[in-house]
Amino acid sequence: MAAHSNDLFLLGLLSVMDAILDQPLAAILAELPVRNDVKEALLERPGQYKDMLDLAIAHERADWEAISLLAPRLGLEEDQIPEIYFSAVDWASALRRGAPISA
């Protein structure tokens, strides 16, 4: 997942843009030069990035049933999810502070 860290950060950021800008997400994405797999995940189309976004949301909501379904599809053990999630949060926090990032 580290190889996808920039795309996944952008995916998470864009996942709330419709609420921030009060516009349909499809309209926002039409104006942005974003990779197709990121756009497709945000537009609810099946794929690995969609599964990763759904997994992050499930973790935030403590939706253990969804985590049990998504983790194997992504080749993860359920007990790995908290560490991966908090690592991503730390990565995003370091990025926000302008600290050096290690993927």
pLDDT at res. 92: 78
User: pLDDT band at 101, cuts 50/70/90?
Assistant: low
- Could you report the per-residue pLDDT of 53-96, keeping only the tens digit for each? 999 999 999 999 999 999 999 999 999 999 988 888 887 788 77
Identify the residue whose tokens are 């926090």: 93
What radius of gyration do the chain's Cα atoms show? 14
CA–CA–CA angle 24, 19, 97 (5° rounding): 125
Give the number of C-alpha atoms closer than 13 A to the C-alpha of residue 22, restricted to the C-beta side: 0
pTM of the predicted protein model: 0.81
User: Residues 14-36: what's their mean pLDDT?
Assistant: 93
Asked whether the beta carbons of 13 and 20 are under 8 A apart, the reply is no
**Cα(82)–Cα(85) distance, integer angstroms:** 5
Asked whether the beta carbons of 19 and 46 are under 8 A apart, the reply is no
Dihedral over Cα of 56, 58, 62, 67: its sign:
negative
**Cα(52)–Cα(28) distance, integer angstroms:** 21
Q: Residue 85 corresponds to which amino acid?
A: Y
